[in-house]
Amino acid sequence: MLNSFQSDRACSLIDGQAIETKVQSIIINPHDGEEIGQLHHASISEVAKAVSVAKASQAKWAAVPAVERGRILHVACNIIEERAEELSRIVALEAGKSLGNAMGETTGAVLCGRFFAGEGQRMFGRTMPSGSPNKSAMTVREPCGVASLIAAANTPAPNFAWKVFPALICGNSVVFKPSEDTPLSADWMARALIEAGVPAGVLNVLQGLGQEIGPALCNHDDVDVISFTGSTRVGREIAEQAGRNLKKVSLELGGKNAFIVCDDADLDKAVHWASLSAFSNAGQRCASGSRFIIMDSVYDEFVEKFTANASGLKLGISNSSDLGPVINKRQHANILSSIKQAQKEGAKLLCGGSQPVLDDIKNGLYIEPTLIEDAAPDAMISKTELFGPVGILYRVNSFDEAIELANNSPYGLTGTIHTKSWDRAWLFTNMISTGVAVVNAGTFGSEPHMPFGGLRSSGNGTREPGTEALDVYTELKDIYLITEPERL
């Protein structure tokens, strides 16, 4: 299947066939604004066809023993690993990343894939005692059916692996909808899995605009489970649609993550992690650090160091660069507009805040690493996820005030504290109202075997990846066995 991959076009892949359509748009490299290919937009009829094919293929795939499904997925990981540079170059081109960062993400996708491939040997249910004599009780996991998987553009290869591998190992068939900004890597990875032995009808990819085909995909009667990673606004819409149809849904949404710096912190270490949290991947992480809460006695020193660090970061896509562009023009304009609005409301710009004019990146969707102070905790920029390289700084007087401000957010995804105090660190992990708590590092850093997700506007309580993802993609069935010893 990889031999038929075309790097200059992204078509829907349904039952192993590329579907060319009349409606097309340009795929842009955000680094320089150059056209890199054509995106063929799926229509409502392609949505119906993809779901129909997935439904027709699912039962046969579910009948394949989970251990064998895992073997096939291990083969797929081998293919991805063997051709890692090829995939990474695609990711780097369409997402505006350095090849080194793209290679790291490809490695992350393989690690995630291998973890879930291994779960084919551990598809555990439970056996439990019954309160009745001669009665055995147990649970088993069964696939949901057809899984609609919708991913974001920020880390294309891991996002694909994060959703597709657990859905497949559980015996579901898949209709995968990648971001329209990063469609080529999804096409490549789907073909790699089909080449490895996943039946073509079991893994289908729909290309196009989310607002055009997303509602039809999520509302289709034959879709049994929906997994979405993206904005809180769209997540709410999907939750409403799923609720009306009583569909199972997993939502991994936004974050406005707090980074607390205590008066006993190692400031150089804190600045290092603050910079990575705010600016790596151009701030395009739901787990990026964007609210920096600093105790008063170290505020000025930390801000001086942090501002100097941010001002010295290198923009571009070389392996020596610190951050690349944001993914599309809409996001780019929204971030710059939000910065200007914050300044109008009284916030102070410490560094950045503009599109750079350097010759080698002036045509790309770049934003200078930006730090802002004096924004009110209830200002729009303090409450809204920007998904870009922007950090907001706040001064507090105590540990309790820092925790209170950190929790004063519509989001609850991740948070970190920098301190040398064991007591503060442990209290923080208990008091922070997030799904992830970190001590003396960055706000990001999920691992394939660990559950990831958040509270309030950051999600609906489900967790992916980790073994907890099996709860998303399987249904539990109770089994009771009654014996009659007197008949022996």
Give catalytic residue positions. Answer: 252, 286
Contact 449, 122 (CB under 8 A): no
Q: How far is the C-alpha of 178 from the C-alpha of 249, rounded, in Å?
A: 17
* Tokens linked to 43: 């229509």
Q: How far is the C-alpha of 370 from the C-alpha of 389, rounded, in Å?
A: 6
The burial class, CB within 10 Å (0-12 / 13-18 / 19+), for 358 is: exposed
User: Which one-letter amino acid corresponds to residue 191?
Assistant: R
Residue 392: phi and psi, rounded to 5, are -110, 135
Measure the CA dihedral 272/275/281/283, to 10°: 150
27 half-sphere exposure, CB direction, 13 A CA radius: 27
The closest of 446, 402, 441 to 271, measured between CA atoms, is 441
The burial class, CB within 10 Å (0-12 / 13-18 / 19+), for 478 is: exposed
Q: How far is the C-alpha of 174 from the C-alpha of 172, rounded, in Å?
A: 6
